[in-house]
Amino acid sequence: MSRKPAGGHRRQRLIVVSNRAPVEVERTDAGLDTRRTVGGLATALDDVLRDRGGLWIAWAGADAPDVLRPATTGLGYPIRSARLRPEDVDNFYGGFANQVLWPLCHIFPERCRFEEAFWPAYRDANGLFANLVAAEASPGDLVWVNDFHLSLVPAALRALDLGVRIGMFWHIPFPPPAVFGVCPWRAELLAGLLGGDLVAFQTEADVRNFLACVRDFLGLVVDEHLPRVRFGGRDVLVGDLPVGVDVARFRREAASAPAMAEAQTLRATLGTERVLLAVDRLDYTKGIIERLLGFERFLESSREWQGRVSLVQITAPSRFRIPQYRAMKQTIDETVGRITGRFTAHGRSPLVYLYNAFDHEHLAAYYRAADVALVTPLRDGMNLVAKEYVASQAGGDGVLVLSEFAGAACELREAVLVNPYEPDGIARQIRAALELPADERRERMAALLQRVTTRDVHWWTTAFLMLLSGHPDGPHAPTPVTP
């Protein structure tokens, strides 16, 4: 499906590259089943790829054909499938990506496992993705590489001299040198990222950490004014571009008749004055256990709220093949059981635990029903749940309780901020959120809504593509880094 220009004609398209595709393919008794994936990246890039034209290169499952056509997926663009063997998935994705880079970047170095098979699998998988791009790309195309799974792809593409512009967006936190330096392949990873024309992160702190690592481990000169890194005779632009959400869509879905009806049914079923909501993927970085302990402490210390408040904890399954995730789920189950056993009274439980993934339509109803959203990860690159909740509260007076260590905290300053490691602190901030006066709740939410609307998903994609296209001095230029 390569589209090389004929007669020297230069055609510019967008090629999105990610580990995970916006669809998953699974073989069933009835044949191949294709379903949309639930996730911020798929949603964020779907519209821009439809509008601009191009294709998506990703792994869509072991049963996926080489090319998924729009007629099959319902998307407005084709998907080129990366062919990864089960052992590749185990060692590249389940191994190096999720047991080395994920804990390292979220500052859990004690959880890193440096298995011998992990690095070669990661390196080879990145080479595979780069070769797929090379087979599809034409001079002048824009290649948008996403996230820590594919940090070697930019340099691999640069070595192939394809005549494309290469951008990398790093969605998770980037750690300081004292943590990143634990990785034996730190220099290779940094050089891989610097193969691009643009490397972008969620926050200014991530940019500072990345530049510090570049200085410490590659010995390169960094221009902090823009900022830029001089590497291989080129200037690599570095910036912070926080990911946004589709505010208009969430406002529309939350205000729809089905969502309003579902929200009313949910509140009636719970039967309490106030509803708390937490939505997470199953992961130790999300602080689910710590949040539950904080909620338990709140119930212990605020007896006047017992029977008047309920927490709905939605947890989407994730990475269950990794043993530590199975152990974490067991701990969560035990904690939920203890809390419900201790505080259920008159047949009414203060805690509803839903182990399931919800689509946007159902989430919008839960967002609408919730008086308070608890978004308390131990560390997060951004956390779009916080922004989705705010977008769904248009005209409302919900309260966002937000971890200080979520990237979103840099923008959403009117949230009730909390240290997620402190159960007593979580308990205090839950109480504070519940007892905020109505006028203060509305004032805070209006300010939050203005922020997420100004920097929504369309701002993010436009800003990234403007910088990638070679317009660093445009209206979306990154700000200088504070030393």
Please write the tens of the pLDDT for every residue from 398-407. Answer: 999 999 999 9
pLDDT tens figures, 95-122: 999 999 999 999 999 999 999 999 999 9
Whole-angstrom distance, CA of residue 470 vs CA of residue 462 = 13
- What pLDDT band is residue 433 in, cutting at 50, 70 and 90? very high
Bridge partners for 54 per DSSP: 14
Q: Is the pLDDT of residue 251 over 80?
A: yes
Task: List C-alpha distances in Å: 73 to 3, 19, 25, 27, 260.
Answer: 21, 18, 10, 15, 30
- pLDDT mean over 229-238: 94
CB 238 within 8 A of CB 220: no
Q: What is the pLDDT of residue 480?
A: 47
φ, ψ of residue 56 in degrees (nearest 5): -120, 130
Rg (CA), the chain: 23
Tell me which fold the domain 247-453 belongs to.
Rossmann fold (3.40.50)
pLDDT tens figures, 140-178: 999 999 999 999 999 999 999 999 999 999 999 999 999
Bridge partners for 314 per DSSP: 279, 354
Give Cβ neighbours of residue 330 (< 8 Å, ≥ 6 apart): none
Which two three-digit tokens encode residue 431?
């109480």
Give Cβ neighbours of residue 444 (< 8 Å, ≥ 6 apart): 399, 400, 414, 415, 436
- Three-state DSSP string of the chain: CCCCCHHHCCCCCEEEEEEECCEEEEEECCEEEEEECCCHHHHHHHHHHHHHCEEEEEECCCCCCCEECHHHHCCCCCEEECCCCHHHHHHHHHHHHHHHHHHHHCCCHHHCCCCCCHHHHHHHHHHHHHHHHHHHCCCCCEEEEECHHHCCHHHHHHHHCCCCEEEEECCCCCCCHHHHCCCCCHHHHHHHHCCCCEEEECCHHHHHHHHHHHHHHHCCCEECCCCEEEECCEEEEEEECCCCCCHHHHHHHHCCHHHHHHHHHHHHHHCCCEEEEEEEECCHHHCHHHHHHHHHHHHHHCHHHCCCEEEEEEEECCCCCCHHHHHHHHHHHHHHHHHHHHHCECCECCEEEEECCCCHHHHHHHHHHCCEEEECCCCECCCHHHHHHHHCCCCCCCEEEEECCEHHHHCCCCCEEECCCCHHHHHHHHHHHHCCCHHHHHHHHHHHHHHHHHCCHHHHHHHHHHHHCCCCCCCCCCCCCCC
Of 55, 48, 99, 54, give the one whose Cα is nearest residue 80. Answer: 55
Bridge partners for 26 per DSSP: 33
State the span(s) of the chain assigned CATH 3.40.50.2000.
Answer: 11-243+459-468, 247-453
Tell me which fold the domain 11-243+459-468 belongs to.
Rossmann fold (3.40.50)
Whole-angstrom distance, CA of residue 309 vs CA of residue 270 = 9
Q: Is the pLDDT of residue 321 over 70?
A: no
380 counts as catalytic: yes
Q: Is the Cα torsion angle 279, 281, 283, 289 positive or negative in sign?
A: positive
Q: Is the pLDDT of residue 26 over 70?
A: yes
Of 46, 147, 171, 206, which residue is the catalytic one? 171
63 counts as catalytic: no
Which two three-digit tokens encode residue 88?
């590749």
The bridge status of strand 23-28 relative to strand 54-59 is unpaired
Position 421, amino acid: Y
Give residue 197's region: left, alpha or beta (phi > 0; psi -120 to 50).
alpha
Whole-angstrom distance, CA of residue 318 vs CA of residue 335 = 19
Please state whether the peptide bond connecting residue 227 to the residue before it is cis, i.e. omega within 30 degrees of 0: yes
Q: Is the pLDDT of residue 75 over 80?
A: yes
Of 54, 125, 66, 63, give the one whose Cα is nearest residue 93. Answer: 125
pLDDT tens figures, 58-67: 999 888 899 9
Q: What is the pLDDT of residue 9?
A: 44
- What pLDDT band is residue 439 in, cutting at 50, 70 and 90? very high
Q: What is the pLDDT of residue 357?
A: 87
Of 46, 141, 283, 380, which residue is the catalytic one? 380
Q: Is the pLDDT of residue 320 over 60?
A: no
Whole-angstrom distance, CA of residue 392 vs CA of residue 368 = 6
Residue 319 or residue 115, greater confidence: 115
Q: What is the pLDDT of residue 399?
A: 98
Q: What is the pLDDT of residue 40?
A: 61
Q: What is the pLDDT of residue 359?
A: 85
Whole-angstrom distance, CA of residue 359 vs CA of residue 342 = 32
Residue 478 or residue 177, greater confidence: 177
- Count of other CB atoms within 10 angstroms of residue 94: 16
Q: Is the pLDDT of residue 3 over 50?
A: no
CB 399 within 8 A of CB 444: yes
Q: Is the pLDDT of residue 481 over 60?
A: no
- What pLDDT band is residue 214 in, cutting at 50, 70 and 90? very high
